[in-house]
Amino acid sequence: MLRINDISFSIEGRPLFEGASATIPAGHKVGLVGPNGAGKTTLFRLIKGDLTLDGGDISLPSRARIGGVAQEAPASDVSLIDTVLACDTERAALMAEAETAQGARIAEVQTRLADIDAWSAEARAATILRGLGFDPDQQKQPCSDFSGGWRMRVALAGVLFAQPDLLLLDEPTNYLDLEGALWLESYLAKYPHTVIVISHDRGLLNRAVGSILHLEDRQLTYYGVPYDGFAKQRAEKRAQASAMAKKQEARRAHLQSFVDRFRAKATKAKQAQSRLKMIERMDMVAAPEEAARRVFSFPQPDELSPPIVNIEGGVTGYGDTVVLRKLNLRIDQDDRIALLGKNGQGKSTLSKLLSDRLPLMQGKVGRSSKLRIGYFAQHQVDELHLDETPLQHLQRARPEVLPPKLRAQLAGFGLMADQADTEVGRLSGGQKARLSLLLATLDAPHMLILDEPTNHLDIESREALVEALTAYSGAVILVSHDMHLLSMVADRLWLVSDGTVKPYDEDLDAYRAMLLAKDTPPKPEKPKDSKSKRPSRDVILELRAEVRKCEDRVSKIEEMHAKLSEKLADPALYEDAQAGELEKWNRKFAEVEEGLQRAEALWMAAQEKLDAAEGA
């Protein structure tokens, strides 16, 4: 159990926490959310003891191991698999000692190695590395063969393999592709200990965690539901607070009106004075401030005749190395296309080809003569001039435009007056990404190519990006590990694999299911009976009733799960609990979690039966 008790902390005089408290029960998976700059990463550093609190305390059980990804794996000559194995320091030390131990110590070492399942360690490490995108041959290569982004994956694999009692992950999907992000979701959902993950990925916050810890206005609030449930509860609370504030303001205005009218009249002076005192005593409820509008205002291009890009028999790559071949692709201005496929299969290569940054080796490409292309990739954020302001970036790109208009354009991307005059090196990652997106769309492009645009953007900014792309009248080519963004924007899917690009005719849910099931051998198909008949209507009605019954069962268990989560998050339970009571509540929670998994499995099985019957 992690207890955060009445903590206060400031940076350079700016308070990030003031009397904040929260309790995270052992074994819970929690998403830590809040606005950019609120102090989420700072909270992790406080939990790890890297920073000293101004007040309050943070406590964990004695001997609890805390793990997180602080930096990328070193560019050493050690293989990936050995780098990951070394992250379990106890196992590594015991394995080394086993070579030299003598007498009774030999038995102790071997017993402990058996207890921690040391002999299956290499297989477990290999499974984690494979899930994060490293094939068996790559796992034997030295870390120095890989770039910084790939070594970040190795570091993540290491901390997952070590299985700390408290796992702290800060935006872990930022350096993963869609496949790796989906694998991580599944892995975290089954992780045997406590997890707190900072993330702006709604899919992960709905599927990998069961609770949300919200940081806002220097306070922490625990919600025993995944992100969508948290968003609903928070919206309801804000609506209630807003309604109460309006009622109080109306009451205050009514009293003030009486005071203003009758203060000067002798016959009404006492009543006016009485109402004035009532106003002073009123404990006003502040109306919740609306979150700052995190807008994106994409300029709209003029319309071109279709197609704007057409490739026939295309082959492309780098130098003499072919990466993609047999490319027969057409793009119209109203297309919204998501590129699917593992890292290294050629998504970035295709993006560069479409943006005219890479030529064809063979084949034909046709582009509209007036075509303007906007291109955003994460490396462009890293290539901004750190010693210049956003305004200076725009002045270089548009020297003929007056500063007031440039400032208006910056404001249209959420970079207000303060940020416009701040050196880029001092801006947040999200603010840098906004500037890069503005520069990419400055010419009102007919086609916008976005390669991982949501890294460093918070959830509100991602929603604003969805709205902007929906309103944008140009073509969109999108590479992202954010399933929510893809599902809201893309209406066509292209799969980049096996050295070519083909349309993917299923939807994103089917693609996700395929990725998660890729290591599971397919079930043998039953031979079809040519005489079999379509199930009767009574059978289908019965199956539908069973599905509804399963849905109700899951819903009731989810309610129970949420109530138990809130119970276990209540600090009073740990202060007032009698001997064995806390263990009883933890046991109930474990039983409910197990029951929820069984209920969901029954629901899925019932749904599959119904689908099969209706499709027969």
- Stretch 317-344: mean pLDDT, rounded? 92
Look up residue 179 and give its two tokens.
Answer: 């496949």
Q: What is the pLDDT of residue 265?
A: 62
Contact 184, 204 (CB under 8 A): yes
Q: Count CB-CB contacts under 10 A for residue 253.
A: 10
- Stretch 589-608: mean pLDDT, rounded? 74
Q: What is the pLDDT of residue 523?
A: 42
Contact 310, 365 (CB under 8 A): yes
Greatest mean pLDDT among 74-78, 203-207, 362-366, 528-532 lies in 362-366
- Stretch 89-93: mean pLDDT, rounded? 82
Q: What is the pLDDT of residue 526?
A: 41
DSSP code per residue over 106-125: HHHHHHHHHHTTGGGHHHHH
Q: What is the pLDDT of residue 79?
A: 92
From 371, 334, 351, select the one nearest 446 (Cα to Cα).
Answer: 371
Residues paired with 24 in a beta bridge: 2
From 296, 274, 365, 298, select the one nearest 328 (Cα to Cα).
Answer: 365
Residue type at position 241: A
Residue type at position 108: E
pLDDT digit string, tens, across residues 149-200? 888 999 999 999 988 999 999 989 888 888 889 899 989 988 889 999 999 8
**Over the chain, what is the mean pLDDT?**
83
Global confidence as pTM = 0.70
**CA separation (Å) from 101 to 86, 115, 119?**
20, 18, 18
Q: How many residues does the chain have?
A: 616
Q: What is the pLDDT of residue 326?
A: 95
Instruction: Phi first, then psi: give them for residue 286, nearest 5 degrees.
Output: -75, 135
Of 269 and 4, the structure prediction assigns the larger pLDDT to: 4
- Say how far apart CA 595 and CA 558 lie, in whole Å: 10
Binned at pLDDT 50, 70 and 90, residue 251 comes out as low
Of 115 and 322, the structure prediction assigns the larger pLDDT to: 322
What is the torsional sign of CA 372, 376, 379, 383? positive
Binned at pLDDT 50, 70 and 90, residue 527 comes out as very low
Q: Count CB-CB contacts under 10 A for residue 588.
A: 14
- Say how far apart CA 90 and CA 296 lie, in whole Å: 50
- Stretch 570-595: mean pLDDT, rounded? 70
Element (H, E) at 513: helix 508-516
From 39, 44, 70, 185, select the one nearest 482 (Cα to Cα).
Answer: 185
Q: Count CB-CB contacts under 10 A for residue 562.
A: 19
- Stretch 362-389: mean pLDDT, rounded? 89
Instruction: Phi first, then psi: give them for residue 288, nearest 5 degrees.
Output: -60, 130
Torsion of CA 301, 302, 304, 310, to 10 degrees: -10
Say whether pLDDT at 575 is over 80: no
- Say how far apart CA 196 and CA 576 lie, in whole Å: 26
Percent of the chain with pLDDT over 90: 37
Q: What is the pLDDT of residue 274?
A: 67
- Stretch 112-128: mean pLDDT, rounded? 81
pLDDT digit string, tens, across residues 29-58? 999 998 777 889 899 999 998 999 999 999
Q: What is the pLDDT of residue 271?
A: 64
Instruction: Phi first, then psi: give them for residue 31, nearest 5 degrees.
Output: -100, 125
Say whether pLDDT at 586 is over 90: no
Kindly list the strands in the beta sheet with 362-367, ordered across the sheet, starting from the edge strand earlier in the chain: 321-331, 309-318, 362-367
Helix, strand or coil, per DSSP, at residue 520: coil
- Say how far apart CA 25 and CA 409 lie, in whole Å: 47
Half-sphere exposure of 147 (CA within 13 A, CB side): 5
pLDDT digit string, tens, across residues 442-481? 999 999 999 989 888 888 888 889 989 998 999 999 999 8
Lowest mean pLDDT among 71-75, 357-361, 531-535: 531-535
Binned at pLDDT 50, 70 and 90, residue 279 comes out as low
Of 546 and 518, the structure prediction assigns the larger pLDDT to: 546
**CA separation (Å) from 434 to 56, 59, 296, 380?**
37, 38, 8, 11
